Amino acid sequence: MAKGLAALVAAVIGTSVFMAGSASAQHRIKIGCTATTDCASAMVAIDQGIFRKHGIEAEMVLIGINSNIPAALLSNSIQIGGPTSSVFLQAADGGLPIVGVAGASVMSPATNPLVAAFVRNGLTLTKPADFIGRKVGAPGFGAYLHVLFVKWLMDNGVDPSKVNFVEVSFPTMSDVIRSQAVDVVLAGEPTVARMLEARVGTIGARYVAELARTDPIIFYAAARSWAAQNPQAVAGFRAAIREAAEIVNTDDDKASESIAKFTRQQMALVRSVPRSRANPSLTGDNLRWWVEVMTQQKLLQGTPDVNSFILP
């Protein structure tokens, strides 16, 4: 009787330890991204249970302006974020201890035309010189759309200091352009399609298509201290993103459902436009063109060692 009771107690304890160990293996992380398709691999990894399979309980957090992501990482409001390449480089070069952990999206001939300088009704602005003296809303100073617009202006002989830039978040762009608080907003899909549908303006220039690049748009980053303290979570995150990226690139139904859910866009609108190509790989070499562009715009303090910004 005593031996049977002891065996039962041992079995219960063993089961409890096993269950506790299983629960502790689930790393809880919040992933912060703006309302674009560029973090689709993380969205899909949540909805398809891929994160959970790799020991992660993940939650998507909507960030209004991309340039707020580094601060959110360092405050631990989120553990993984999707900054644009330009926002990340400016923050890391400025001394903020953040590190890239996986690729998210890259520019491509199919999706570069989806970015536009969207012009309010009553104006016709198509050439770089047309934007001189205009108020242009960008989703974050130093963010992807802002830096590439400035690059487009400079490549065409326009001094960007002659353009008045203000910050406008993606969710508010339609209202801001309708009220004519700005003359132009720099936006991507599906925001552009939604504004066209609302008839609040027209497309002025597809400036990213003219640059014709294939470099990273957004990649996943973390606070360096968090990444160092949670190597298993980082490994699980990377494995899940690799798996989910394949779904993003090949399964339109699953990808569109996840994008519509996170961005709060209608499914028909999400399906109507090509999404950014997911690419989970990330190396220092991927960032060299961005360093050149940002150095030209005097956004970096020096010439950074891009390999030191990427977690091995």
Report the percentage of the chain scoring pLDDT > 70: 92
Q: Reduce the DSSP state of residue 32 to 3 states and report it.
A: strand
CA distance 15 to 238: 30
Please state the rounded mean pLDDT for residues 125-139: 96
CATH 3.40.50.720 fits domain 112-211:
no
C-alpha dihedral, 203 to 209 to 210 to 214, nearest 10°: 160
* Lookup: tokens for 303: 């010439």
Residue 25 pLDDT class (50, 70, 90 cuts): low
Over 70: is that where the pLDDT of 12 sits?
no
Domain boundaries, the chain: 28-108+214-309, 112-211
CA dihedral sign, ordered 197, 201, 205, 207: negative
Q: Reduce the DSSP state of residue 180 to 3 states and report it.
A: coil
Report the percentage of the chain scoring pLDDT > 90: 77
Q: Which amino acid is at 241?
A: I
CB atoms within 10 A of CB 9: 10
pTM for this prediction: 0.79
CA distances from 8 to 1, 4, 12, 14, 78 (A): 11, 6, 6, 10, 43
* pLDDT tens-place string over residues 181-225: 999 999 988 789 889 999 999 999 999 999 999 999 999 999 999
Over 80: is that where the pLDDT of 11 sits?
no
In CATH, the architecture of 28-108+214-309 is: 3-Layer(aba) Sandwich (3.40)
In this prediction, residue 22 carries a pLDDT of 38
